[in-house]
Amino acid sequence: MLSAIPLLSIVLLLANLIAFGAQIGFAEPLFALTLPSGGTASFTTGDGLILLGLALLYVEIFKATRTSSMSVLDHALSLVVFIVALVELLITPKFAHPAFFAVTAICLIDVIAGFTVTIAGARRDFAPTNQG
C-alpha cells in the first residue's frame, strides 16, 4: 500500500511547510558551491525543491514500469498531487514563485509519464502474437 503513495507528495508537503509553516521562503539561500572555475553557484530553497522533485520524478517513472493493481492507485494519487499543486499555484499568492511553478510542472510530467509508460507496457503485454 505504501508503494502507491506518490513520492512527489513529499515535495508538495515541503513546499507547503516552506510557504505556510517556516519563516523562510522559496528564495532563501541554502548553500553555495565554489566551482573549479572560481565561480560560485548559490542554491535557494526553491532550487532544492526542484532538485528533490527531479530526483523523485526519476523514481516515480521507474515505479510506473511495474504492472500491478497498485499502479492504478499510484497514478490516481499522482493526479491528485498534481491537481493540488496546480490549485495552490493558481489560487494561493505564497506559491507565486518560479520554483513552485517548476514543481507543478514536475508533477504534471509525472502524471503524463506514468500513464504513458503504463499504456506502453500494457500494449506490450497484451499485444496479439503472430502464430503463423
Over the stretch 10-66, which tens digit does the pLDDT of each residue have? 999 999 999 998 788 899 999 999 999 999 999 999 999 999 999 999 999 988 887
Written as nine digits, the cell of 132 is: 503463423
Q: Computed from CA positions of residues 89, 90, 96, 97, in that sequence, does the dihedral angle turn out positive or negative?
A: positive
- The CA distance from 110 to 57, in Å, is 6
Whole-model pTM: value is: 0.86
User: Is the pLDDT score of 123 beyond 90?
Assistant: no
User: Is the pLDDT score of 132 beyond 90?
Assistant: no
Asked if 24 and 33 count as a contact pair (C-beta separation under 8 A), the reply is: no
- The CA distance from 19 to 15, in Å, is 6
Asked if 63 and 54 count as a contact pair (C-beta separation under 8 A), the reply is: no
